[in-house]
Structure 1
């Protein structure tokens, strides 16, 4: 399996839990941390936790190693480290505050969601 497949699994898991404004950024050549970043948000603590839990479980079901999950209990900004894919699941207010899309504005967007829905 490859990074693109893991990206699709994680994005679909977020979409299945009704994550909002899901963005996948191609970080190759921009970040040494990961090849892809996923950014999305939920509207409540419970939804943020549900999105993060689903992403973790689906990755594990497909044989991927989940290295670390940070911020789950607080449910304001949950970071799921899947190795070459890192997911940022925000609570709505935190997403607009940190505005990671602007921080990594030079990163190209991957159109994974439309592929999954077609």
Structure 2
């Protein structure tokens, strides 16, 4: 059976785990997966992580999208540019936020979503 014939269905938690592990493999830091199911109808999970610089941020985008593509999950949209310090990968129910340290400190998503349960943390 070819990959096209196989329909891969990962749960949002599985997508988030693949993304977080891929980010860790690419040396991202302070990786957190936040469960937002009780807080908003728009998303199930946020994956939030930090890249040391814009070059690493570009590499993270590539590494994560390739890892998810390899398991049959395609990105719906990519918002932002590495040069801005914040890139969002939209996987429907899972949003992946990739930041430089300065932008992560400025936007403080974890503070905004403080009531969210942290289901995975990779330092």
Secondary structure of 1:111's match?
strand
- Aligned residues, how many? 114
Match of 1:86 among 60, 81, 95: 95
Give matches, 1:1-118, under 5 Å. 1-111=10-120, 113=122
Larger Rg: 2
Deviation at 1:113, TM superposition (A): 4.3
Per-residue deviation, residues 68-95 of structure 1 (Å, max 9, x unmatched): 0111352510000011110000011000
Conserved? CA contact 1:49–1:75, under 8 Å? no
Structure 2, unpaired ranges of 5+: 1-9
**Structure 1: 4+ residue segments shifted above 2 A:** 72-75, 111-114
Secondary structure of 1:52's match?
helix
Deviation at 1:106, TM superposition (A): 0.4
| TM score, norm. by length of structure 2 | 0.86
Deviation at 1:56, TM superposition (A): 0.9
Partners of 1:45 and 1:91 in 2: CA distance: 7
Give the number of the structure whose residues are more often helix, by fraction.
Answer: 1
| TM score, norm. by length of structure 1 | 0.89
Structure 1, unpaired ranges of 5+: none
Per-residue deviation, residues 38-81 of structure 1 (Å, max 9, x unmatched): 11111110111111211111111111121001113525100000
Secondary structure of 1:89's match?
strand
